Structure 1
Amino acid sequence: MMRRLLLAFVLMLLAAPTFAVNPDEVLADPALEARARALSAELRCMVCQNQSIDDSNADLAKDLRLLVRERDEAVLNYIVSRYGEFVLLKPRFSMKTGLLWGAPALLVLAGGLSLLVFARRRSGKPTGSKLTAEEGDKLARLLE
């Protein structure tokens, strides 16, 4: 049993996705390469849309990875100005994205407030119906 689990784990590790960065794209300086990889991990592939350009094999992603390595510092602003905020996997906080960042908190507060209002309205109301005359007589006999 343990061997099967170990084999399954090893097979899962072998099937893990590899980065799409080609050897010809890698910078000679390890510090600059690490910076370029960090920047490219923040940018969404406009073809795949669910991957960063660091993970994507699309031609546009390759072009953007090369652009990141050429321009380094100002590349995020340049790419955002060209493709819009959507290209960022983690959008910046601004007036345009305020609702995006605040929506989860607003939804939790609205849900909690509605539960509170619902509970308060129900607390003062009786939950059952009045006893009939026959049921009242039966109850009186039982309590004697």
Structure 2
Amino acid sequence: MSTKTENNTQLSSKDFHQTFARPNYQRPEKFIHKNVEQAGVHDQFSSERKHPVFFVDLPTKNVSMTIGGLLPGQLTNKHRHTYETVLFVIEGAGYTEIEGEKVAWQAGDAVYIPVWAWHRHQNTSDEHPAKYIACENAPQLQHLGVALREEEGRD
């Protein structure tokens, strides 16, 4: 595994002597992503997932955050991935099916989706949308080259 130094020079294991016991603060390119949903839906991701998805665009290396929406009655594709997910439901009600087990949720609930578990999300209202924040450790696994995602019937 390689890392970068303060001046963005690529390091490898032969440069271990340049790795210090205490990290140096490096100011990120930005601290805030204002009006996340105003930046627009991520088209490819949203169409693959069959529901609107908004990416929180911040320079994280270990966790990611997205805002997911489910239209009234909407059911997502069944999928699984090698990263953990925690959903925090902002509005609406529905369920997440995890390995065949339905876990009902509503606004204010948090739902845990384990690594490599088949799952999908359903908005149970025919009138009101549902919205949640998804936090995942996908970037960490992407940096290690082990982040995988599989859609049922596609991959």
TM over 0.5, yes or no? no
> TM-score of the superposition, structure 1-length normalised?
0.20
Q: What TM-score results when the alignment is normalised by the length of structure 2? A: 0.19
- Structure in which a larger fraction of residues adopt helix: 1
Task: Select the structure with the greater relative contact order (CA < 8 A; seq sep ≥ 6).
Answer: 2
The answer to which structure has the higher strand fraction is: 2
The structure whose Rg is larger is 1
